Amino acid sequence: MKNNCLIILTLLLFVSCKEKKSNQAGKKMQDFIVEISEYARNQNPHFIVIPQNGTELLFDDLNADGKLNDRLIAAVDGFGEEELFFNGSSYSPDQYRLQMALKATSIKFLVADYLEDNSQISSAFQYAEDNGFIAFPRASNNYDYMYIPDSVHHENVADVSTLAQAKNYLYLISTSNYTDKATYLTAIQQTNFDLVIIDAFWNDDLLTATEVASLKTKANGGKRLVVSYMDIGSAENYRYYWKDSWKLHSPTWLKKKYDGYSDEIWVKFWVKEWKDIIYGNSESYTQKLLNCGFDGAYLDNVEAYYSLYHKD
């Protein structure tokens, strides 16, 4: 009996320690997002910042029952959520994340559900709209954000200069469906989405300011926003910053394998070397986005604060 009690106590202490580290990391991620926003907006006051997932970051102490974190709210324009209403074949809303999102009324929520049953796409749009969100339902062949949908939900000719004005969006971060950059850019130019989220790179080449500017007008003549994907919670081994000598734990801030993504490693994102990669200098990722004329950044893997200390 004593041994059993000791084992239980040890497990409880272990879990408590992981939760404490996770919460501490969460506060560091809040700071990180704010720092990125401040750096970008110092050069472009209208620069849009949209973290994806990790909704608890919107709250003080990561407590969804507590007060919204005013500092973070002021630093972002919106928040992205994957699989909020659908996660595959059935309607299965994540009530916990949904209630958190509904509390943050001053920012725009972008929902990217995945649907194995394409007949439910219209429902995915409706569930998002019923809650004041905009949606990009991924059809059964589009799990990896590879394809442009055939139609635009709530297509309009209005100029869109703020995230709040957007009625729809395109999330296209894989270029594998296109044989060359010109075809890829033309495919986007011929759409009428209010907001386009893309990768800043075609293969290893950074898009030019001219190329980015060419995407900022909808096919119907209205102006739109072009935002770049940027992973701030994991290092991707195909990016310009990756060094051939790097591997898990070398450097030490390459902390943990990212299950399901062999080309990514969760990072200790608060380490200066990683922060220097993301923002703060002429060679940083954020600076490259600014130089290219992107309207903002879509920050992926902000939930690294949790994933570093829990199973994926």
pLDDT in tens, 226-278: 999 999 999 999 999 999 999 999 999 999 999 999 999 999 999 999 999 99
**Is residue 157 in some structural domain?**
yes
pLDDT tens digits for range 106-136: 999 999 999 999 999 999 999 999 999 999 9
pLDDT at 7: 46
**Residue 8 pLDDT exceeds 80:** no
pLDDT averaged over every residue in the chain: 94
Number of H helices, E strands in the chain: 9, 13
Predicted local confidence at residue 9, as pLDDT: 40
Residue 29 has a pLDDT of 98
Q: Are the beta carbons of 140 and 151 closer than 8 angstroms?
A: no
Q: What pLDDT shows up at residue 17?
A: 65
Extended beta strands in 27-102, E state: 48-51, 78-88
- Quote the domain boundaries for residue 267: 23-307
pLDDT at 12: 38
Is the predicted pLDDT of residue 103 greater than 70, yes or no? Answer: yes
Helix axes of 285-292 and 2-43: crossing angle, nearest 10 degrees: 30
Q: Is residue 181 part of a domain?
A: yes
pLDDT of residue 14 exceeding 50, the answer is: no
The verdict on residue 285 lying in a domain is yes
Render 66-114 in DSSP notation, one character per residue: S-B-HHHHHH-SEEEEEEEEEEESSB---HHHHHHHHH-TTSEEEEEEE
Name the domain count of the chain.
1
Cα distance between residue 217 and residue 46, in whole Å: 18
Within a domain: 6: no
pLDDT tens-digit series, residues 143-192: 999 999 999 999 999 999 999 999 999 999 999 999 999 999 999 999 99
CB 211 within 8 A of CB 226: no
* 4 domain residue, yes or no: no
Residue 217: pLDDT above 70? Answer: yes
How much is the average pLDDT of 200-210? 97
CATH number at residue 206: 3.20.20
Report the pLDDT value the prediction gives residue 10, as an integer from 0 to 100. Answer: 42
CA 300 to each of CA 4, 213, 234, 236, 296: distance values in angstroms, whole numbers, following the listed order: 42, 23, 9, 12, 13
Residue 289 identity (one-letter amino acid): L
pTM recorded for the entire structure? 0.94
* CB neighbour list of residue 141: distance below 8 Å, 6 or more residues apart: 147
8 occurs within a structural domain: no
Cβ atoms of 78 and 52 closer than 8 Å: no
